Amino acid sequence: MASIRKTFEVAASAEAVWDALRDFNAVHQRVAPGFVTDVEAQDGTRRVTFANGAVATEALVDCDDARRRLVYAVVGGRPLAHSASVEVAAQGDGACQVTWITDVLPNDLSDYIDMQMSAAVPIMTATLGRIGKA
């Protein structure tokens, strides 16, 4: 199973960033607008539409407020297995670190997933960073 990890700093408090990240059905508005263009909530899942036209159905696996950790999984589609987690850690001075990990099978999907995550990180950093300036 391929595992892709992205870690990035955000110039906003961990609490504010966590509040946005834990809002599972508002990722297109609060976390990665433009990268994610639409989210449709459906009985414990969300149907996510990406800017490149790809669509995925993702199920919320866990939302742990104490650890500031959210876990979700893609259900259906091409992956045999796909789970991801995002975790927020305070860094002091009103900043935080976000760690986003995706595990996926088959391994040949890892290059595509890595490319998508790499494209999303600057958008997420900028969007979440604006929280610190609000």
Q: Which of the four pLDDT bands, split at 50, 70 and 90, describes residue 134?
A: low
Q: Please, what sign has the CA dihedral across residues 33, 36, 121, 132?
A: positive
Name the pLDDT band for 21 (thresholds 50, 70, 90): very high
Q: How far apart are CA 67 and CA 111, in angstroms?
A: 29
pTM: 0.94
Domain 2-23+59-131 of CATH type 3.30.70.250 = no
DSSP character for 18? H
pLDDT band of 71, cuts 50, 70, 90: very high
pLDDT band at 121 (very low <50, low <70, confident <90, very high): very high
CA pair distance 49, 12, nearest whole angstrom: 27
Angle, helices 110-131 vs 14-21, to 10°: value is 130
104: left (phi over 0), alpha (psi -120 to 50) or beta: beta
Residue-range domain boundaries for the chain: 2-23+59-131
